[in-house]
Amino acid sequence: MANLFRVEIVSVESRIWTGEAEMVVARTTEGELAVLAGHAPLLGQLKEPSRVRVRTGDEDLAWDVTGGFLSITEDGVTVLAEHAEPATGEDPAQALVQSPTH
């Protein structure tokens, strides 16, 4: 069993999800980042649009987010998003990469 750590997904409107996770994957302006227990402290700006994925051990959860930050401390991970909603369909960042430019 992997080490678990505390995760909070928060938007301007409300607290979206709080729980224990094995891994969090988020795309920052510096690139995609996978966070496991014991990760070094970090503050990153979320790429817009983006998808945040959380693996709890029992299930994989995902939210599409716009704006915000990813904060990693010794207490866990907090995603502070301007807006977050349950993920549906294709990752919005991948859709941008694959769409033709005009």
20-to-23, 26, 28, 66, 91 alpha-carbon distances in Å: 9, 16, 22, 23, 23
Determine the average pLDDT of the residues in 81-99: 78
Q: Give the three-state DSSP class for 8.
A: strand
Average pLDDT for 43-51: 95
Are 65 and 51 in contact by the 8 Å Cβ rule? The answer is yes
The answer to whether the pTM exceeds 0.75 is yes
Find residue 24's DSSP bridge partners: 35, 54
Q: Comparing 6-10, 36-40, 91-95, which segment has the lowest mean pLDDT?
A: 91-95
Going along the chain from its start, the domains and CATH numbers come out as 5-98 (2.60.15.10)
On the question of pLDDT at 100 being above 60, the answer is no
Residue-wise pLDDT tens digits, 54-78: 999 899 999 999 999 999 999 999 9
